[in-house]
Amino acid sequence: MIYKNLILNHKIWLQLNLMIENKTLPHALIFHGPEGNGKEAHAIEFAALLNSNNEKNYTDKIINFQHPNINLIIPLPREKSINKKSNSLNAISDKSLDLLIEMKKEKIKNPYYKIRFDKASTILINSIRDIKKNTYTTMLNNNEYMVHIIFEAEKLCMPKSESGNALLKILEEPPKKTIFILVTSEKNKLLETIKSRCCDFYFSKLAKPEIIKYLDYNNEYNKNSIDLIAKLSDNNMTDILHMLKLGEQINLLKEDAINFIKNIINDKNWEGNVKKIEKLFKTKKETFKIFVKLVIFILYDLEKIKNKKNDCVILTKINKVKNLNYSGAINVIEKNYLDLHKNLNPGIGLFAMAIEMKKVMSKIY
């Protein structure tokens, strides 16, 4: 195995091995399910298994993403002009290329690490054209396969389906001994014609006992914070590991979130909160994501307290709140959170979100 720190989905892994043994391996597979459950790492492991072939240095080549038979495709930002014949990597700057190399190194160390460019909204059609080039120029031995792994595969069809249609043409007449593994957390956004040509593997959310066992083994388990972190992350191991790295900063983020909501409710100094949140969005997007989750959980707690329920996650010592529309404020945040990632000016977007939250909450049921 490539990873020593992956929670293996034994049921799916057995199915994949049986397909190899019985020579019933499909040419295209979809690994889908919630984020942070290790499906990307399973795709890498499966590609490695298909190309082990007793080669002495095959593991080293895969660890360095240098194996000629394993091609990783991810959404890339279009930072430079390219033409139809250009390699997809020609679209990114030297700085982004260096970042990609570092992200790949981190991915091999940590199966739950997310390789992602913030400004990459689509899988470039050049990446699909590169598949055709690689397919017909790579020489395969008897027991080898050309494996194309596509991370965030839903972005084949976003914002347009150009790349998805290009891939579909390859899937309709797949080259021999070529395997496609589409990895996605949003299978519903894939073209139906692509899904119909793939064998489906659903990776469920990791169970809490599995998470605790994993953290214990890797000496990263903090008993005082794991309950809150597991709820905030919805058992997403990528988010859990990020939160654990933050340490005590989680408590500071929680205080900031409480303060932000309090100031919105009281219409007092919330502009300062917005500026601080904007800075977080611009500099630490993963931490910003956690902050947003904290705000949403606090609003859920306020709604529970208003309705005299006692299963709060964060506001466990409060028993009375103003009769405001906290659920409406959650809807506002969720809508604006998506808009922030569509190249909207974050300062304007967050300011508008705060004003809308204030208006919505004041509308009493």
- For residue 75, give the nearest of 149, 152, 186 by alpha carbon: 152
Instruction: Tell me the C-alpha to C-alpha distance, in Å, between residue 42 and each of 186, 204, 235, 249, 365.
Output: 17, 13, 18, 31, 48
Domain limits of the chain?
A: 10-204, 248-362
Please give the pLDDT value at position 365: 43
Mean per-residue pLDDT, 119-129: 93
Q: Is 181 left (phi over 0), alpha (psi -120 to 50) or beta?
A: beta
Determine the 3-state secondary structure of 265 from DSSP: helix
CATH architecture of 10-204: 3-Layer(aba) Sandwich (3.40)
Is the confidence at residue 257, as pLDDT, over 80? yes
Terminus-to-terminus CA distance in the chain, angstroms? 56
Mean per-residue pLDDT, 273-291: 92
ω before 175 within 30° of 0 (cis)? no
Please give the pLDDT value at position 222: 62
Is the confidence at residue 7, as pLDDT, over 70? yes
Please give the pLDDT value at position 56: 59
Please give the pLDDT value at position 183: 98
- Tell me: the pLDDT tens digits for 28-67? 999 999 999 999 999 999 999 998 765 656 667 777 777 8
- Tell me: the pLDDT tens digits for 208-256? 889 888 888 766 666 667 778 888 898 999 999 988 888 888 889 999 9
- Tell me: the pLDDT tens digits for 130-175? 998 877 666 677 778 899 999 999 999 988 899 999 999 999 988 8
Instruction: Tell me the C-alpha to C-alpha distance, in Å, between residue 32 and each of 1, 72, 174, 198.
Output: 21, 17, 21, 12
Are 37 and 204 contacting, i.e. CB atoms less than 8 angstroms apart? Answer: yes
Whole-angstrom distance, CA of residue 3 vs CA of residue 13 = 14
With cut-offs at 50, 70 and 90, classify the pLDDT of residue 287: very high
Determine the 3-state secondary structure of 293 from DSSP: helix
SS (H, E, C) 185-233: CCHHHCCHHHHCCCEEEECCCCCHHHHHHHHHHCCCCCCCCHHHHHHHH
Please give the pLDDT value at position 42: 98
Mean per-residue pLDDT, 272-279: 94
Burial of 114 (0-12, 13-18, 19+ CB in 10 A): middle
